[in-house]
Structure 1
Amino acid sequence: MKNGFRQSMAWLHTWSGLLVGWVLFLVFAAGTAAYWRPEITFWMKPEMHAAALQASAQPATPQQQAERARQAIEWMQANAAGSPRWFIALPSARDPVSTLMWLKPNADPKGGRAVRFGEATLDASGQPHASARDTRGGDFLYRLHFDLHYLSPLTARWVVGFCAMFMLVAIISGIVTHKRIFADFFTFRPKKGQRSWLDAHNATAVLALPYHLMMTYTGLCTLMFMYMPWAPKAAYGEAGLPAYQAEAFGGRPGNAQPSGEKAPLADVAALVEQAQRRWGGLAGRVVVENPGDAAAVITIARQSDGSEMSLRPPSLRFEGASGKLLGAAGEEPGAAVHTYNVMEGLHTARFADAPLRWLFFLSGLMGCAMVATGLLLWAVKERPQHLKALKRGEKGSLLLRVVDGLNLGAIGGLLVALPAYFWANRLLPVDLPDRADAEISLFFAAWGLCLALGLARPSQRLWQALLAVAGALLALMPLLNAATGGAHWGQSIPAGLWRVAGFDAVCLLLGLGLWAAVRWLRQREAAAAAASAKASARKTASKPASETPKAAPEPPASAAALPAIAPESPATP
């Protein structure tokens, strides 16, 4: 505190953002894309587009929803009879198919999702989309932003929670640091070097400040029982957290245990109709524990209609064999439970209609820009000292080189990897074994290659190359869609298939934006080169004619990756 409170907050803001900024950029980017999770999954299954073009856009009726539940149960009984648990997501306005998932018998609990679960989708006739390609679609991006894919879920959530806490510290310290926080929102001075980066960082941070605070805080709240389990353990003893959650949110502690006695399931369609009459709304999810056992339990949850922000809709639990109502949950939650449910709902935004979801999406993009500009700003501020050290023949900043490489890999690399994931979805053979995993592997391969290039030789030319590649992959997405069997604009727009047309349009706009960034970088590089040449000419002209220009000294080896001449290739764009 010897430099004053505000200066201390500025130091805290800088380092709390820098140390975890690369993980935060991934979390923001994947989470922002996940707002359109069903739409992304649908785009990545072009075989389903033709059926959607012919399907009616009328909302489902309660009778149709019950029929879809019956079809799903019959398919599960025929194809997943040995599973201890079935999950059925019934059709909604955003996802017109029934999505089925089941836990594989004797699956390794430490295995990945593909190892532990089976999946299928059923159309309106109750038949699976046999021709639809195997893909994780938007679900991969949704889970990536908090499970980090290759880490165990528990480890990943601790890492993301740690980074989110740093993010909260960075936001609060940033608010304290900026004296003119609202004036900064209206201030942008282009072509001013470090000042321009600072203005861009401030503008993207302040414009969506309520969103950034809300998403960071609610993200921590969604996993607060994992981060702080001591109160439920103290109150419930050995039963611990499962007993607390059963009492607070309804249900029973732990999973229902099978009795070993076989018994047929009750009529699930009739139970869905009963639940829908009670709620006056459609059912959205059916979970069956221990199907085919006398101790089976059926849980039916209401479909969100956008009238409430809670992520946990009301649900009813039935005895699987007899259909007897066992209890209800979530219909009249207490204040604390309702607050927690709303926190979860705010974070996922599943309650949001299309205009509000667009607002969340745009705010998420500004969050990505805020994190990216903050990381780049640190490098811009440190580079003058680094270049001065090189001119004196001293060793440059190793930390700056690492940050430059990580910026290229984490920011530029992710911008390449995301569209590469969609291109892999369309170009890999449809019948390729483990196809969904191959798409994800290509996503990480593209990202890893960019990261390796960035760490090996960070430069402005590499920034331009990565942004140009990412822009091309995104801008050409509508053509890729049309060329690989998807519904092109000539089909999707007249039919009102906005899930496909909107995806193509957003990719095109993002691609054009990245190309514009490349053009700006090239113009800036050319202007800097011209200014450098002009300055050299003036310096030469000012010398006496008798003087012979001395040869420029060779730069030290440490300057090779981060040249001191700005027009040549500074590592920060």
Structure 2
Amino acid sequence: MDPRIAGRDCRRADLGIGRCHGAAVSGPGGSLRQSQSFLHSWSGLLVGWVVFIVFVAGTIAFYRDGLNRWMRPELARVEARAPVIAGAQRFLAHRAPDAKSWFITLPGAAAPGAHLFWQPEPIKGEPKRRRGRRDNQAIIGADGEPAVVRDTRGGEFFYRFHFDLHYMPVIWARWLVGFAAMAMLVAILSGIVTHKKIFRDFFTLRRGKGQRSWLDGHNAAAVLALPFHLMITYTGLVTLMAMLMPWAVVANYTDDQALFDKLFPAAAETERSHRAAPLVDLNRLVADAERRFGAPAGAVSVSLPGDAAARVTVSQSPTATLSARTPSLTYDGVSGALVWQSPAPGAAVVTAGAMVGLHAGRFAGDGLRLVYFLCGVAGSVMIGSGLVLWTVKRRVKLPDPARPHFGFRLVEWLNIAVVGGFPLGIAAFFWANRLLPLGMKGRAEWEVHWLFLAWAAALLIAALRRPATAWTWVLGTTGVLLITLPLYGVAMTDFGLAAALGKGDGMMAGIDIALLLFGLGYLALARRVGRHRALPPRRRDRSVPTLELDAAE
């Protein structure tokens, strides 16, 4: 071989974009870029399916308040909070006058009314109440009256699912998500090292070039929102830091309660006096707290309501500050006098609160929230295209691409089932919200069951049909379901897109428009996949030096 060719190929190999011919690559594992390319490919693949569903669910959760309204269309938009707070106090005083505590989440610009929770006074010998029961919850609508709405998890499902998953113990789910997030961070960092011309990748998009087009799309989606990808992955790990890295906690705190008191300081609990006393007007306390905060309040909790020892705690809304650790004030529940305020947090608490706040994005206004959402979409595209690229790149190298081995087929099935099937399940979840009987027992749980049943159907299609056919069916069905959702709202209900636009309700209208746009996108993608005809692999002339297409190219 011409030494000039060998030298050129080895220099390319040192950059991780080719194969060395005629000379050995330094080091037992090749160059740094080659090793990082290997790490990027496999760290992305092994947890890619988990990371994809976490990214998609987390992206949707940026609009969880809006989805809570969209999936409870019976609720009107809250224009004034005072009637809602007064209605909440009136309802709780009638429904749970002797409760141990009340908790009220105050409505914001997008929230569908006030959510109420109350904890009954425990009775000796009575078994502990199970979590998730709904007989101690209610919603107060914009008119200040209890709202009769369909039972649904709403947007809260996506928020909880993106770190708690479903049908499995929470602690296992969080360990799995934490491990996947660490692998995702490794994939992002190794991808940065692997890409030689990372900024050029953003401006390169070759259409109709098969594998190169997939690679260009993957690179563009990665580079477009790279700071967001790094931020959201790292801060996601920070939210699980006490579980993933507990050693600092163990070394500095003798028990969990001491740590909790440091992170979430609260006024000292009072004992029930067994002397009845009327509760102070909560609207008055909320107004005083907002004056002291210089920001809106987000929640009110009442301990021992109706007792002379009652206390009322008002917390600042997380939408008003970057930190998720918001200050709070505690008042005497009878006189309304301020008895406690949260101390100034330390540097560690401020840092942790800012990290969690950055991840959740609750502080974001309409414009920044849209940026969060679009960056989340870009991240989902990056992960999904990376998973598909893994199979596209390796199929041409198989001895018989038409008859791949089981391991390759398994990856291809999982790609179709997750990248295509999870969005199909989400569309089925939304349709279940519209179609299931309003008085159905366990209705909220069945909405979730529909998601997983549709998801399982996608896996079955992937296993029984050729990949191109399976992709077309799954993507096309998803597109049809998403597009027909807003059309169903217009034709069959009084709360569709037209009604939202007529009322100037941007949140409800925006969700319907987003469903239409995503539906059109899925239909276009299904059409493109259905029309694609794979070219037969070209035979290589082994006497001529060649370059392997790599993620770094």
The TM-score, its normalising length taken from structure 1, stands at 0.82
Identify if the C-alpha distance between structure 1 residues 445 and 98 changes in structure 2 by more than 3 Å, giving closer, same or farther. same
Is the 8 Å Cα contact of residues 401 and 458 (structure 1) preserved in structure 2? no
1:10 aligns with 2:37: yes
Equivalence map 1:170-319=2 (5 Å): 170-237=187-254, 240-251=255-266, 256=269, 259=272, 261=274, 263-264=276-277, 266-267=279-280, 268-292=282-306, 296-304=310-318, 306=320, 308-319=321-332
Q: 2:136 aligns with which of 102, 112, 118?
A: 118
Question: 1:341 offset after TM fit, Å?
Answer: 1.2
Contact in 1 for aligned 2:202/2:220 (Cα 8 Å): yes
Question: Helix, strand or coil: the match of 1:169?
Answer: helix
Residue type of the partner of 1:90?
L
User: How far does residue 292 in structure 1 lie from its aligned partner after superposition?
Assistant: 4.8
Aligned AA (2:418):
A
Q: Which amino acid aligns with 1:310?
A: S
Amino acid in the other structure paired with 2:287: E
Q: How has the CA–CA distance of structure 1 residues 152 and 290 changed in structure 2, closer, same or farther, with 3 Å as cutoff?
A: farther
Q: Which residue of 1 aligns with 2:174?
A: 157
Alignment of 1:526-545 (within 5 A): 528=534
Give secondary structure in 1 for the equivalent of 2:213.
helix
| 1:456-502 residue CA offsets vs partner (Å, 9 max, x unmatched) | 44521011001110000111121122234242333221321111111
Contact 1:184 1:202 in 2 (8 A): yes
Runs of 4+, deviation exceeding 6 Å: 104-110
Identify which of 393, 401, 410 aligns with 1:381. Answer: 393
SS in structure 1 at match of 2:330: strand
Q: What's the CA shift for 1:70? A: 3.5
Matches for 1:343-362 after TM superposition, within 5 Å: 343-362=355-374
Residue 280 of structure 1: CA displacement? 3.2
Percent identity of paired positions between Structure 1 and Structure 2: 43
| Deviations, residues 374-403 of structure 1 (Å, cap 9, x unaligned) | 1111111221233x2478xxx842211110
Contact 1:409 1:447 in 2 (8 A): yes
1:328 to 338, 341, 346: 341
Where 1:3 maps in the other structure, the secondary structure is coil
- The yes-or-no answer on 1:523 pairing with 2:531 is yes
User: 1:39 pairs with 66, 70, 77, which one?
Assistant: 66
- Give the stretch that moved more between structures: 25-34 or 118-127: 118-127
Q: Deviations over 1:352-392 (max 9, x none)?
A: 11111111101000111011011111111221233x2478x
1:495 corresponds in structure 2 to 503
Q: 1:196 to 1:125 in 2, by over 3 A?
A: closer
- Aligned residue type for 2:190: S
Asked whether the 8 Å contact 1:296–1:320 carries over to 2, the reply is yes
Query: Aligned equivalents of 2:191 and 2:127: distance in 1?
Result: 45
Inter-partner Cα distance in structure 2 for 1:191 and 1:43: 38
**Alpha-carbon distance in structure 2 between the residues aligned to 1:190 and 1:497:** 39
Q: Which amino acid aligns with 1:286?
A: V
**Which of 467, 473, 476 is the equivalent residue of 2:484?**
476
Normalising by structure 2, we get a TM-score of 0.85
Between Structure 1 and Structure 2, how many residues are aligned?
A: 506
Q: 1:399 to 1:109 in 2, by over 3 A?
A: farther
2:5 matched residue in structure 1 = none
User: Is structure 2 residue 184 aligned with structure 1 residue 167?
Assistant: yes
Q: What is the letter of the counterpart of residue 266 of structure 2?
A: G
CA distance, structure 2, for counterparts of residue 159 and residue 187 of structure 1:
35
Query: How far apart, in 1, do the equivalents of 2:61 and 2:119 lie?
Result: 24
Rounded to whole Å, the distance in 1 between the matches of 2:237 and 2:291 is 36
* SS of structure 1 residue aligned to 2:94: helix
Query: In the alignment, is the contact (CA less than 8 A) between 1:290 and 1:296 conserved in 2?
Result: yes
SS in 1 for 2:396: helix
Q: Deviations over 1:50-82 (max 9, x none)?
A: x44xx7x5xx4xxx54x5334212212322346
Partner residue in 1 for 2:548: none
Distance in 2 (CA, whole Å) between partners of 1:377 and 1:105 is: 57
Change (3 A) 1:451 1:260: farther
Going from structure 1 to structure 2, the CA distance change for 1:492 and 1:248 (only over 3 Å counts) comes to: closer
SS state of the match for residue 395, structure 2?
helix
**What is the letter of the counterpart of residue 150 of structure 1?**
Y
Determine the C-alpha separation between the residues in 2 that align with 1:205 and 1:277.
44
Tell me how far apart the structure 2 counterparts of residues 102 and 93 of structure 1 sit (CA, whole Å): 24
Name which of 103, 109, 114 aligns with 1:98: 114
Instruction: Determine the C-alpha separation between the residues in 2 that align with 1:71 and 1:329.
Output: 28
Return 257-266 or 88-97, whichever deviates more. Answer: 257-266
Deviations 1:324-363 (A, max 9, x none): 5342226x43332222111111111111111111111010
Secondary structure of 1:47 counterpart: coil
Conserved? CA contact 2:68–2:112, under 8 Å: no
Aligned to 2:84: 68
| Aligned twin of 2:150 | 133
The aligned amino acid for 1:125 is D
8 Å contact 1:249–1:337 — kept in the other structure?
Answer: no
Q: What's the CA shift for 1:163?
A: 0.6
Q: Indicate the SS of the match to 2:63.
A: helix
Q: Which runs of 5+ in 2 are unaligned?
A: 1-27, 539-553
AA at the equivalent of 2:382: M
Q: Against the structure 1 CA distance between its residues 481 and 109, is the aligned structure 2 distance closer, same or farther, given a 3 Å change threshold?
A: farther
Give the equivalent residue in structure 1 for 2:468: 460
| Per-residue deviation, residues 302-341 of structure 1 (Å, max 9, x unmatched) | 23454x31122221123546655342226x4333222211
Q: 1:494 to 1:126 in 2, by over 3 A?
A: closer
Change (3 A) 1:73 1:197: same
**For 2:462 and 2:128, how far apart are their aligned partners in 1?**
37
Higher helix share: 1
- Residue by residue over 1:78-98, the C-alpha shift from the partner in whole angstroms, topping out at 9 and shown as x without a partner, is 223465443211121122511
User: 1:316, 1:328 within 8 Å by CA — same for their partners in 2?
Assistant: yes
Q: CA deviation at 1:264?
A: 4.2
Structure 1: how far apart are the matches of 2:311 and 2:251?
Answer: 29
CA-CA distance at 1:174 after TM superposition: 0.7
Alpha-carbon separation, structure 2, partners of 1:505 and 1:357:
16
* Pair 1:401 & 2:409 matched: yes
2:49 is matched with which residue?
Answer: 22
Question: Which residue does 2:15 correspond to in 1?
Answer: none
What is the match of residue 337 of structure 1?
349
Q: After superposition, what is the alpha-carbon deviation per residue over 1:406-449, rounded to whole angstroms, capped at 9, x for unaligned? A: 11111111111111111111111111112111111111111122
The 1:202/1:91 distance shift into structure 2, 3 A limit, reads same
Is the contact made by 2:319 and 2:364 (CA closer than 8 Å) also made in structure 1? Answer: no
